[in-house]
A and B are shown apart, each in its own frame.
Chain A
Amino acid sequence: MMLFDFEKPIEELYKQIEKAKETHVKGKVNMLDTIEQLEKKVVELKKTIYNDLNAWQKVQISRHPDRPYTLDYIENIFKDFIELHGDRNIADDKALVGGLAKLDNQPVMIIGHQKGRNTKQRQMRNFGMANPEGYRKALRLMKIAEKFDIPVISFIDTPGASPGLEAEERGQGEAIARNLLEMSVLKVPVVCIIIGEGASGGALGIGIGDVVSMLEYSWYSVITPESCSSILWRSWEFKEKAANALKLTSKDMLEMQMIDKIITEPTGGAHNDPETMYKTVKSELKKILKELCETDINKLVNKRIEKFSNMGVYNE
């Protein structure tokens, strides 16, 4: 497993555990107690480290290569998933996936950014940066959901919308704008979860929900810390400072009332214990959906519009 710089003290313990295991296997000394002691220490140390993370460290965790992605959540939480492809116009965007599924017995429509795990996959998924056809596919799926009265679940995980020639030619701005407008009045419940990176319009483009929640170590901002650093301080070196200034952590976002909920991650982050993460997300989703599905949809839509209308701080 890849460890971060700030996890270095844990690495030392891991080494000791490996050594103890080796000794034990060789059969010379019974090391089981020592190993157990060391493993306990690891858990304790992780807790200590993870309780005291700064914004930039959280950004790093959100990008851990082993962190669960949208399709992992789909596979481990839902059943009967039927993936739906294409925007009926240009292409099927592999950076934004979607389809029908069941959450236990509740039918749902799922949309979400998808990143790749190896070089080939990363290219195919365009690093989770969707093109206009991705946002249009998502809208097409949401309209299907509306037609058949199925709630929408949106998994957000993107370093931003794709900034390329083709994206511009096909109207990236229009595609995102259209989604913002349509999602704000979509007549089915919409739940959004930022599971990793939530950068700019690319994230917001599938991010208008009745309940918007963030995984504990995910982030949400108008720009990546790197780009912010390069624009404001003319260098990528100030990304830590930028991450801090942007107030992009789940805790900040909840305090500023731009999200509704934080979903706690297992100690050491979602990548450290995906099974627990899936369980938590599943139970949260069930709780949220139950409540939303019991509310009158017109009330829900009005509340959704009101919520986003109230965002902003100014003097008057």
Chain B
Amino acid sequence: MSWFKRVKEGIATKTQDKKETPDGLWHQCPKCKKPVLAKDLIKNSWVCPHCDFHEKIGSEGYFRIIYDDEKYTLMFDNITSADPLKFVDSKPYPEKIKDAILKTGLNDAVRVAVGKLNGKKLVTACMDFKFIGGSMGSVVGEKIARAIDYAREHHIPLLIISKSGGARMMESSYSLMQMAKTSAKLALLSQSKIPFISLMTDPTTGGVTASFAMLGDFNIAEPESLIGFAGPRVIKETIGKDLPKGFQRAEFLVEKGFLDYIINRKELKQNLSTLLSIIWDKKTKKKESEEV
């Protein structure tokens, strides 16, 4: 397929995830059940042209949507999971990791890229749900921390796209402490007055919600995304009854005051560009003219 252009040099290419290409010519929307031509779906940022349903996509998909000419450079992608606790449940943790790497072509549940959005540099850390439920362990924490450091050092705005089931239990407190680590790094980024936009997608729960996802200068979300600290199942078990309709969905969070706005994926790139043109581009221009 010609829409796929190879990312910049020096980057492992095993991550051409086939899963993000619909099988066959036609794709059936899981929501409205109407058929859509696969190439039209891709052109439409994986949003159903009939009902606006947002198909779940991963980092590859988002990077292609966001970055000019689908060009970007992956960073810190060689970091992989260790097994500090020698954790074994259904199988040893290292085997789980190996399986996940083979199955997804990804090294862990987040990838970091830098590239240009409408000509302006942007660092993006994007989570991949298909890698052990987008769970946050040491690797996710470290890569996000480095993305933040990179944005700070190079004076580039940061976008984090969250999609996570929560903690990587097999790393226990190491997983927990990634919440502290990423939040501390974001405190430094904030002090440097570099913009941080947090985009929450379906689903964003647990430790990710209770750390970097909720700490954006701008917290935004895709329509109907599930966003919360406790998962719906846990809450349901706790209160002993069914949850109200629309509970913990993006629209609910806007009403409760925790999101700035909801953004349709088709408009994401233009929206980010406009937002940054207001708060950031003038600033960089000013800085450049001072340097001259």
Interface, chain A (partner B; CB < 8 A)? 161, 163-165, 167-174, 176-178, 180-182, 184-185, 200-201, 204-205, 207-208, 220-223, 228, 231-233, 245-248, 253, 256, 258, 304-305, 308-309, 311-316
Contact = CB atoms under 8 A, between A and B. Distances in A.
B199 to A, nearest CB: 15
Nearest to B198: A177
Contact of A168 (B87, B191, B228): B228
Contacts of B247: 165, 168
Given A163-B230, A221-B176, A316-B79, 8 more contacts: A167-B229, A173-B228, A176-B179, A177-B211, A180-B183, A181-B184, A311-B141, A315-B82
Nearest to B258: A171
Contacts of A182: 187
B248 interface: yes
Contacts of A309: 145, 181, 184-185
B175 interface: yes
A176 B210 contact: yes
B33 to A, nearest CB: 31
Given A168-B229, A312-B141, A222 B175 contact: yes
B187 A181 contact: yes
B89 interface: yes
Interface in B101-134: none
A312 B178 contact: yes
B182 to A, nearest CB: 8
B184 A201 contact: no
Contacts of A315: 79-82
A116 B243 CA distance: 28
A309 B146 CA distance: 10
A205 B139 CA distance: 22
Nearest to A310: B181
A174 B142 CA distance: 21
A173 B235 contact: no
A128 B14 CA distance: 48
A308 B180 CA distance: 6
Please indicate which of the listed interface residues B89, B173, B238 has the most CB atoms of chain A within 10 Å of its own CB: B173
A308 B174 CA distance: 10
A222 B88 contact: no
Given A245-B88, A313-B82, A222 B229 contact: no
Given A178-B215, A208-B180, A245-B87, A313 B172 contact: no
B211 A305 contact: no
A258 B174 contact: yes
B147 interface: no
B97 to A, nearest CB: 10
Contact of B229 (A201, A228, A231, A245): A201
A168 B248 contact: yes
B85 A247 contact: yes
B74 interface: no
A171 B227 CA distance: 10
10 contacts: A173-B209, A177-B183, A178-B214, A201-B207, A204-B176, A231-B169, A233-B89, A245-B172, A247-B173, A256-B173
A233 to B, nearest CB: 7
A34 to B, nearest CB: 48
List the 3 closest pairs (A to B, CB-CB), nearest first: A312-B138, A173-B209, A163-B230
A45 B116 CA distance: 69
B238 A163 contact: yes
B214 A221 contact: no
Contacts of A165: 235, 239, 243-244, 247
A88 B104 CA distance: 47
Contacts of A176: 179, 210-211, 229
A309 B179 CA distance: 10
Residue of A168, A200, A231, A315 with highest tally of chain B CB at under 10 A:
A168
B186 interface: yes
Interface string B15-29: 000000000000000
A167 B239 CA distance: 12
B67 interface: no
B84 interface: yes
Contacts of B188: 185, 305
B229 A173 contact: yes
B210 A173 contact: yes
A312 B177 contact: yes
Given A222-B207, A312-B174, A170 B256 contact: yes
B90 A311 contact: no
Contacts of A245: 85, 87-89, 172
B210 A169 contact: no
